[in-house]
Structure 1
Amino acid sequence: MTNTVLLVDDDAMVREALGQTLELDGLTTIQAGSYIEAKDHIAAGFDGVILSDIRMPGKDGFALLARAQSVDPELPVILLTGEGDVPTAVRGMNEGAFDFLEKPCEPAALLAVVGRALRTRALVLENRALKARAETGDAAARLLFGESVLAEELRNRVRAAARAQAEVLICGEPGSGTSKVAEVVHLLSGDATRPFVKLPAAGLTAAALDAAFDRADGGTLFLDEVAALEAGAQYLLLDLLDRVAKTRVVAGTYRDLEAEVAAGRFNPDLFYKLDVLRIRIPALRERKDDIPVLFRHYVSIASEQAALTPPEIEHDVIAQLMAQDWPGNARALMNAAMRFAMGLGLADAEGAAQDARPGLSEQLAQVERSLLIEALRRHEGGATAAAQELRLPRKTFYDKLARHKIRPETYRP
């Protein structure tokens, strides 16, 4: 998380006292005595927050607020007002200030407001990084989120399957995103300009299946939960795969198709025809390192769709999320993010009752693990920089990585 505060006050003694409070809390301050001194620090790429007095000679704090908003409308600016100067504080909030503090301000109040502003800033910057990633790179990088080893292996497997131009069998638990993976396979293939047709296999008649091949017309036909395909449609699909070679079939299932074949419910020839390239989507409980970035991404999307300001996501929220096994996988996490964005908290996420929450030691371990991962992510796998940010001796930092089975290289670009 960014820890830089641009501190602007024309009173050198006040500025020094505020700066000392912030620096004793581990924050970095850039100090300026006027608008002129401060304005050059407010430029594109500034990743901190601003704490500024309102009443200063020359251009005042409102002018500084206006400059900050012209550079970055989401740059938090905290204004310092005189004691009891409520109208000025209200004006500042109406003009877009993040918050205000009355002088003289108590250290605890100062650190609480600045800390909240820094967390908000970190979330904004992380969301921007996610959006930038979503607008660059190939479809696998843009649409299949996650920074764990398993997530990268999934993307690579999808890319390989797309290049092969053969039938693909996608296996994953309910809610894991078989449809999304199928779409990415299509987008990365040489037939990406051709149609992508998605059909639920359950209840699909032979006639509807035949018509689907016509609609796909050399593109990709995705059959969702292919194990539910009726016997007649299975035989037709086997025949169509032999005759309509220009259309690729991607099948998704959460069932064990080999067990379905053994039980006589699925055609063995069709199974081997579909099982040319297999992609297994790891369950969310297998890649818990991805939960924080996925949750933040889903919260950002939900907030944007509802025209809401994304809420703060505290460490205890991440700890609660990571303590769950998520049998509903990404879909359930997305639903939890939607509720959270709407201000409903995490109540009933995955049906977890309050009395089913993990104990204190487990929650603390989850918080520690998430802090380590997030620090590594911010420093792109740089262990030294991450350890310094967390103010941990190098050996202690590596001991903790080993205890939580975290590999720094996972987070390197």
Structure 2
Amino acid sequence: MIRRVLVVDDDLAVREALAQTLELADLHPLPAGSFVEAKDHITADFAGVILSDMRMPGRDGFHLLDFARTADPELPVILLTGEGDIPMAVRAMSQGAFGFLEKPCAPSDLLAVIERALKTRAMVLENRRLKAQLETGDPAARLIFGSSEQAEGLRARVRIAGHARTEALVTGAPGSGVSKVAEVIHLMSPLAKGPFVKRTATGMTRDALDAAYDAAQGGSLFLDDIGTLPADTQFALLERLEREDPVRLIAGTTAELSQAVGAGRLNPDLFYRLDVMRVRIPSLAERPDDIPVMFRQYVAQASEQAGLTPPPITPEIIASLMARDWSGNARALMSAAMRFALGLGDAEADDQQVEELSLSEQMARVERSLLIAALRRVQGRATEAAQNLKLPRKTFYDKLARYGIKPENYR
């Protein structure tokens, strides 16, 4: 994201000096000489902050603050004045100003306030984006999180499976969300208005299978752990699949079904019938770049359900998340996000999980988290991150390649 700062001051020399200070800090100034020039930039989707002089001809800084609060109550406004006093500062802060500084202001102090404001603005806009995604009419986009190629591929496959009229098979590692993806397939299908009935295949009898089909009439029947379906019920299921039932079967498994077929535990005819439309869920280890996106989504969801304001997610928290292997996949990540949102614990890995790793594995995790944290702090600018870590540029890029880290994902 381009880090924009709308600079409003009627003094041209001051505007240019402020703009130069901002540019040296890799910020993007948008100069304006008056309220009238500035107001067109002040919108609810403005991806930046406002830095305004207090005293200006015509409408002053308070007018601009009121206008900004009307456009977006969460848009940060930092006010500058050469004639500061306590009552004016109190009034500014009580009316919602993010900061109030007296001129002349040390560049380091000014930039520190602007950096805090930009981080706050980025978090607000990200939370809005996540909420909008949750409310979209596309179930695949609303319920399957992530921005990686693997996540996009999964959503595309789910849409194809949803519109297909064949049986479907959803596979994935434990905790990857097999049941959830199966439900999204149902929601994407012509039978979406019908029921979505979930049953576990383990120990299911013929009578239980018939009852499940009856409950799912006009909708979808999801049989989880399909590889554990008893042999006699497998034959009954094949018979049901030959009928013209107004029920679509979606099967799920976290095991490798070809092994069950080879061992004689799964009827090959049933396997091949289900395997026509397979949807495989990639593990988090295969798409680590989705971890921050998914964590933010889960935190937003948990906070909304609890009626809480989402807590800030710092670069250090993201780094700690990226350092874990998440063998429990989405389920474990969701659990960590819920605890974090409710204030019941942080997102760090527990000691037992770390102790199970070798020393080299633990060191690799630490190094990876430090690289990611360095990129986060400078919004993905790799050269600057390498300098901050005092690493040669080639060494830094070699390490990024080793851990599959892409600087552009942290901008």
**Could you say which TM-score interval applies, normalised by the shorter chain?**
0.7 to 0.9
Counterpart position of 1:109: 109
Q: Deviations over 1:329-366 (max 9, x none)?
A: 11222222233334543234696559957465433433
Alignment of 1:295-334 (within 5 A): 295-334=295-334
CA contact (8 A) 1:326 1:350 kept: no
Structure 1 residue 284, shift from structure 2 partner: 0.6
Q: 1:351 to 1:217 in 2, by over 3 A?
A: farther
One-letter code aligned to 1:118: L
Structure 1 residue 193, shift from structure 2 partner: 2.4
Structure 1 residue 17, shift from structure 2 partner: 4.6
Counterpart position of 1:336: 336
1:365 aligns to 2:366 (yes or no): no
C-alpha distance in 2 between matches for 1:389 and 1:165: 53
CA contact (8 A) 1:141 1:155 kept: yes
One-letter code aligned to 1:179: S
Q: What secondary structure is seen at the aligned counterpart in 1 of 2:279? A: strand
Structure 1 residue 319, shift from structure 2 partner: 2.3
Give structure 1 stretches of 5+ with no counterpart.
376-385
Counterpart position of 1:379: none
C-alpha distance in 2 between matches for 1:326 and 1:358: 15
Q: What secondary structure is seen at the aligned counterpart in 1 of 2:289? A: helix
CA contact (8 A) 2:169 2:250 kept: yes
Structure 1 residue 7, shift from structure 2 partner: 2.3
Q: Deviations over 1:141-190 (max 9, x none)?
A: 33222222222222222223233311111111122111221122112222
Counterpart position of 1:171: 171
Q: 1:357 to 1:244 in 2, by over 3 A?
A: farther
CA contact (8 A) 2:323 2:365 kept: no
Structure 1 residue 76, shift from structure 2 partner: 1.6
Counterpart position of 1:247: 247
More deviation in 25-34 or 94-103?
94-103
Q: Deviations over 1:44-69 (max 9, x none)?
A: 54221012344555433332222112
Q: What secondary structure is seen at the aligned counterpart in 2 of 1:114? A: helix
Q: What secondary structure is seen at the aligned counterpart in 1 of 2:260? A: helix
C-alpha distance in 1 between matches for 2:247 and 2:137: 26
Counterpart position of 1:284: 284
CA contact (8 A) 2:140 2:184 kept: yes
The alignment's C-alpha RMSD in Å is 3.9
> What percentage of aligned pairs have identical amino acids?
58
Counterpart position of 2:8: 8
More deviation in 99-108 or 399-408?
399-408
Give structure 2 stretches of 5+ with no counterpart.
388-392
1:70 aligns to 2:70 (yes or no): yes
Q: What secondary structure is seen at the aligned counterpart in 2 of 1:126? A: helix
Q: 1:360 to 1:333 in 2, by over 3 A?
A: closer
CA contact (8 A) 1:2 1:118 kept: no
Number of equivalenced pairs: 397
Structure 1 residue 14, shift from structure 2 partner: 5.4
Structure 1 residue 139, shift from structure 2 partner: 2.8
Q: 1:258 to 1:104 in 2, by over 3 A?
A: same
Q: What secondary structure is seen at the aligned counterpart in 1 of 2:198? A: strand
Counterpart position of 1:378: none
CA contact (8 A) 2:375 2:382 kept: no
CA contact (8 A) 2:226 2:252 kept: yes
One-letter code aligned to 1:366: I
Q: What secondary structure is seen at the aligned counterpart in 2 of 1:241? A: helix
Structure 1 residue 287, shift from structure 2 partner: 0.7
Q: 1:90 to 1:303 in 2, by over 3 A?
A: farther
C-alpha distance in 2 between matches for 1:247 and 1:333: 33
C-alpha distance in 2 between matches for 1:242 and 1:389: 63
Q: 1:3 to 1:340 in 2, by over 3 A?
A: same
Q: What secondary structure is seen at the aligned counterpart in 2 of 1:288? A: coil
C-alpha distance in 2 between matches for 1:340 and 1:104: 41
Q: 1:13 to 1:371 in 2, by over 3 A?
A: closer
Q: 1:229 to 1:83 in 2, by over 3 A?
A: farther
C-alpha distance in 1 between matches for 2:366 and 2:408: 30
C-alpha distance in 1 between matches for 2:97 and 2:214: 58
CA contact (8 A) 1:217 1:247 kept: yes
C-alpha distance in 2 between matches for 1:93 and 1:206: 69
Q: Deviations over 1:248-283 (max 9, x none)?
A: 110111112232334444444433333332211110
Q: 1:371 to 1:229 in 2, by over 3 A?
A: farther
More deviation in 173-182 or 311-320?
311-320
More deviation in 156-165 or 79-88?
79-88
Counterpart position of 1:146: 146
1:345 aligns to 2:351 (yes or no): no
TM-score under structure 1 normalisation? 0.80
C-alpha distance in 2 between matches for 1:46 and 1:277: 44
Counterpart position of 1:186: 186
C-alpha distance in 1 between matches for 2:269 and 2:187: 28
Q: 1:363 to 1:407 in 2, by over 3 A?
A: closer
CA contact (8 A) 2:7 2:31 kept: yes
Q: 1:45 to 1:265 in 2, by over 3 A?
A: same
Structure 1 residue 308, shift from structure 2 partner: 3.6
C-alpha distance in 2 between matches for 1:79 and 1:44: 19
C-alpha distance in 1 between matches for 2:186 and 2:351: 31
Structure 1 residue 25, shift from structure 2 partner: 0.7
TM-score under structure 2 normalisation? 0.80
